[in-house]
C-alpha cells in the first residue's frame, strides 16, 4: 500500500455558529492528484484552510505525513516544510520593494536557519529553475507590485516549487492564467506527480479538467457527498447530489 500523505478524520469546522465543514473524512496517497469540487460556499476553502492550520477546527483529526496537526494549527517544522500552498487570492501591497526572484527565494529559505551567504549558488539555481519551470524567468528582476494577475500566479507557483516538497495544495490555482498558461500549468502538475512524487490536492470548478487530470475527486457540500475516481464522483447522480439536479440538466444541455 502507498504511503498516506494526508489523513483527515471526522473534521468539523465552524465559522461563527455556521458549520461550514461537517464530519469530513478522507485520505490522500503519495503521488496522487485529488480535486475538491462543489458549489460556491460549499466549504472547500474552509476545509483546505483547516488542513493547513490557518482555521481552527471544532472536532476531528488531521495527520500530515503521519504527524498530527495540533488543535492550534501547529505542525513539526520538518513536516510543515513539506507543504506548499497556493491560495485563491494573493493580496500584496504593490509598493513593497521586492523583486520576483527575491520572493521566490523566500520559498527556498523557509524554515531553515542559515547565514545569508550559505548555499547562495544552490539557492540561485533553485530560483532560476523554479521560474523556468513556470515559464517566468523573464520576470525575475521585476518588482512583484508590477505583475499582472496571471504573472503573479506563475510567480507564486514558482515560490511553491523552489524547494522539493511532498504535498501541494491549490485553491483554484489556474484562475487568471491564459489558455497556454493553463495547459502548461496542468502539464507541470502532472510532471511533479509522476516524476517527483508530489501529492496534489486542488480545489477546482473546472469539471472537465478534473475528469482529464485528476486521479480522485471529493464532492463537497459542507460534508462529503461522494468520493472516488472521476468516473464515479462526477457521475450524474453524484453531481446532482452535490450541485442539485438543475445543474446536471444544464450540463447536458451544454
Ligand X SMILES: Nc1ncnc2c1ncn2[C@@H]1O[C@H](COP(=O)(O)OP(=O)(O)OP(=O)(O)O)[C@@H](O)[C@H]1O
Binding site for ligand X (CB under 6 A): 15-16, 18, 20, 38, 40-46
Nearest to 201 by CA among 89, 210, 153: 210
CB 57 within 8 A of CB 13: yes
The CA distance from 6 to 124, in Å, is: 31
Nearer to ligand X, 127 or 168 (CB): 168
- CB of residue 85 vs ligand X: minimum separation in angstroms? 14
* 45 or 202: CB nearest ligand X: 45
Q: Could you give the CA distance from residue 199 to residue 83 in angstroms, rounded to a whole number?
A: 10
| Shortest Cβ 142–ligand X spacing (Å) | 29
Q: How far is the CB of 238 from ligand X (least distance, A)?
A: 17
Type and span of the H or E element at 32:
none
Locate the DSSP E strands across 113-235: 167-171, 199-203, 216-221, 223-228
Q: Min. distance of Cβ 18 from ligand X in angstroms?
A: 3
Q: How far is the CB of 24 from ligand X (least distance, A)?
A: 12
Whose Cβ is closer to ligand X: residue 82's or residue 242's?
242
Closest to ligand X by CB, 41 vs 77, is: 41
Closer to ligand X at the Cβ: 19 or 137? 19
| CB of 15 or CB of 118, closer to ligand X | 15
CB of 251 to ligand X, least distance (A): 17
Can you spell out the DSSP letters for 210-241?
HHHH-SEEEEEESEEEEEESHHHHTSHHHHHH
Q: Is 208 helix (H, G, I), strand (E, B) or coil?
A: helix
Total residue count of the chain as it appears in this document: 254
Amino acid at each position: 500500500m502507498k504511503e498516506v500523505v494526508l489523513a483527515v478524520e471526522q473534521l468539523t469546522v465552524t465559522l461563527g455558529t455556521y458549520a461550514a465543514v461537517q464530519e469530513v473524512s478522507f485520505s490522500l496517497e503519495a503521488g496522487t492528484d485529488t480535486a475538491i469540487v462543489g458549489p460556491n460556499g460549499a466549504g472547500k476553502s474552509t476545509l483546505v484552510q483547516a488542513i493547513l492550520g490557518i482555521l481552527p477546527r471544532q472536532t476531528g483529526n488531521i495527520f500530515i505525513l503521519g504527524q498530527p496537526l495540533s488543535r492550534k494549527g501547529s505542525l513539526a517544522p520538518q513536516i510543515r516544510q513539506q507543504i506548499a500552498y497556493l491560495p485563491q487570492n494573493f493580496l500584496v501591497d504593490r509598493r513593497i520593494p521586492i523583486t520576483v526572484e527575491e520572493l521566490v527565494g523566500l520559498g527556498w529559505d523557509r524554515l531553515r536557519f542559515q547565514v545569508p551567504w550559505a548555499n547562495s549558488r544552490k539557492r540561485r539555481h533553485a530560483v532560476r529553475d523554479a521560474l523556468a519551470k513556470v515559464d517566468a524567468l523573464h520576470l525575475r528582476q521585476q518588482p512583484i507590485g508590477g505583475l499582472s494577475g496571471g504573472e503573479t500566479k506563475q510567480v507564486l507557483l514558482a515560490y511553491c516549487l523552489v524547494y522539493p516538497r511532498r504535498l501541494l495544495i491549490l485553491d483554484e490555482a489556474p484562475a487568471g492564467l491564459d489558455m497556454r498558461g493553463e495547459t502548461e500549468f496542468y502539464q507541470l502538475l502532472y510532471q511533479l506527480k509522476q516524476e517527483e512524487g508530489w501529492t496534489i490536492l486542488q480545489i477546482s470548478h473546472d469539471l472537465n479538467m478534473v475528469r482529464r487530470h485528476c486521479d480522485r475527486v471529493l464532492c463537497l457540500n459542507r460534508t462529503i457527498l461522494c468520493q472516488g475516481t472521476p468516473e464515479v464522483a462526477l457521475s450524474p447522480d453524484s453531481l446532482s447530489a452535490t450541485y442539485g439536479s438543475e445543474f446536471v440538466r444544464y450540463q447536458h444541455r451544454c
